[in-house]
Amino acid sequence: MSKLGYTVDFLNVGFGLCMTAYPTQDRFPVLVVDGGYDRPQQYIGCALSLEEHLSRLGVKEVDLMVSTHPHRDHIGGLARVVEQFPVRRFLTGLACAPHIPFDKGSTGNMAAALELLRGMLERLHGQNAHVISVTGTTRIRCGRAELTITTPANTAIVRRDKALTQCGKAPNPAAFRELSNTLNETSLLVSLNVNGAGFLLPGDRNLVDLPRWEQSIPPCQVLQIPHHGDKNHLSREAVEAICAKTGVVSADTHGTYGLPSAGLEETLASWGMENILYTTGSLEKETASGIRFLISGDGALEQQWIDCK
Q: Which residues contact 45 (CB under 8 A, 6 or more apart)?
A: 253, 280, 285, 286, 308
Sign of CA dihedral 134, 135, 136, 139: negative
Number of Cβ within a 10 Å radius of residue 125 = 11
The structural domains of the chain, with segments of one domain joined by +, span 6-306
Whole-number Å distance between alpha carbons of 167 and 157: 15
**Local confidence pLDDT in tens for the 309 residues of the chain:** 446 799 999 999 999 999 999 999 999 999 999 999 987 666 678 999 999 999 999 999 999 999 999 999 999 999 999 999 999 999 999 988 777 765 555 456 888 898 899 999 999 999 999 999 998 899 999 999 999 999 988 999 999 999 998 888 888 888 888 999 999 999 999 999 999 999 999 999 999 977 765 666 778 999 999 999 999 999 998 999 899 999 999 999 999 999 999 999 999 999 999 999 999 999 999 999 999 999 999 999 999 999 987
Q: Classify domain 6-306 at the CATH class level.
A: alpha beta
Beta strand pairing status for 189-194 and 137-142? unpaired
Compute φ and ψ for 84, nearest 5 degrees: -120, -20
Contact in structure between 291 and 9 (CB atoms under 8 Å) = yes
Whole-structure pTM value: 0.95
Closest alpha carbon to 22 in 59, 68, 77, 67: 59
